[in-house]
Structure 1
Amino acid sequence: MKSYDEQSDAAVPPVLLVEDNRINQMVAIQLLKRAGVGADTANNAEEALRRLSTHEYRLVLMDVQMPGMTGIEATQIIRNPDSDVRDHAVPIIAMTAFSSEQDRIACMSAGMNEFLTKPLQIDRFVEVVQRFLPVAPSTADGDLSPSVSAGAHAGASAGAAEGERGALPVIDHRDLLLRSGSDEAVARDLLRRFFERLHNAGEPIAAAVIAGDLDALARHTHGLCGAAGNIGARRLYTVLKQMHAFARDGDLAAAALLLPDLEVEISAVRTVLR
């Protein structure tokens, strides 16, 4: 079997997905599959740059916040005409849990072409991908229209206000199935992986609050928040998103007040999935 670097460009899928979180990778791959698009994956920015230096892709989906080199730093290298990548003009779509206008401007200023927030809203994701990479959805994968509409509603309601959190499901199985490409086996695998990830997941977040480490708090809540949203853990997602916002705003006291809620929601998800 040929190594990746020995493959011809004709054998390389059109999309390079750059994402360090396996759950988020799986969801994005399923959504691309539903749109009839294949993808390679890179687990970090450095790996992405190596692949872009040996092969040309038609589109890059770039996570913004990754350990080590960030997606913004990687984009700046890709756009640098003196770098080793083969296509400096390849379209790059940012994927991030950061949703402020300041975040969008930072991504676009670095040279990205579009901006998507996590959890991925299905209709928006498909629209953006097909704008940069026009394809006809595979008839084998079914009609996208019903899933797109429902997925947009589920994604939008994932960020419900704190007072409404109790009315949200612990796990939105309908949303999960949509993000799994209507594949029950993939949905079960996502839940299994998330259940494993939740083991002691609150400890580094609590430790960051106790230590007053806002950077660590933002990092830990960000990593868990995107995965929670993508598997339909809507109540947990809401708490994590609020804590992450407080961390970025420098409001440690407000984040600390949410620690009991965080433990409650982590326990609720683990109970449902056990």
Structure 2
Amino acid sequence: MVLEILKKFGFKADTAINGRSALESLRKNTYDIVFMDIQMPEMDGIEATKIIRDPQAGMPDPSIPIIAMTAYAMQSDQERCFEAGMNGYISKPVQPQKLLAVIEEWPFKKDAPQQDIADQVRDVGKQPAVFDKDELMVRVGGDEAICREIMMVAVKDLPYHIQKLKAATEQEDIRQVKACVHTIKGMSANIAAHRLRDAAFQVERVAGEPWDLDHIRLRTDRLENEAEKLFALLSDLGIVPVSGWQEDKKMSV
């Protein structure tokens, strides 16, 4: 289907039956972008990408933009793609307009720092937003005052729950960890803070596995980082003062 979409819009494209075939094509031909299926026989997309990015592998263009294509939607699956060196992520079934958006964007960003690329793109077709004000406004019937009130409550309460989560983590209180992160996940979903919601989901997921303090700490740190991005954005938008967030954070310790 992807090949047909590309041909329809006048692009030249090759296909590969597996990761090994893809590597062979990249060695023989020059391409502007790679759409890498994650699940392939013999060699999957993750392994193929690692080889492409490996300076010792001798690939002609180790920095070529690579976009993952997969039906998986879990944040952990997306993270595997980025850890392997992929630049973006598009969900299957692929929609033509989303595919074209990727083609227009990435060839011009080949030389961008890898860490910047990873921050800019998660799921190209359905990119999690730090804060989706439009979505929240729809929920509140377009009432700006209600939207602002909801966000102010979140600014006041979220720092407390995040600090409580961190304390529970250090005390290895798994029950409290689950309770705190469940609250954070619900609050962030309510205000359309999707990246914070996803980060909370990841803490909740690993908290349900055999206890691994380092793993929990890593996920909790990411959650706190996403919260700081959220409040910085809200400050830039004039919804909340950044100083208020910092004070609430200090007081909640």
Question: Shared topology, TM-score over 0.5?
Answer: no
Query: Larger relative contact order (C-alpha < 8 A, sep ≥ 6)?
Result: 1
TM-score scaled by length of structure 1? 0.38
TM-score w.r.t. the length of structure 2 is: 0.41
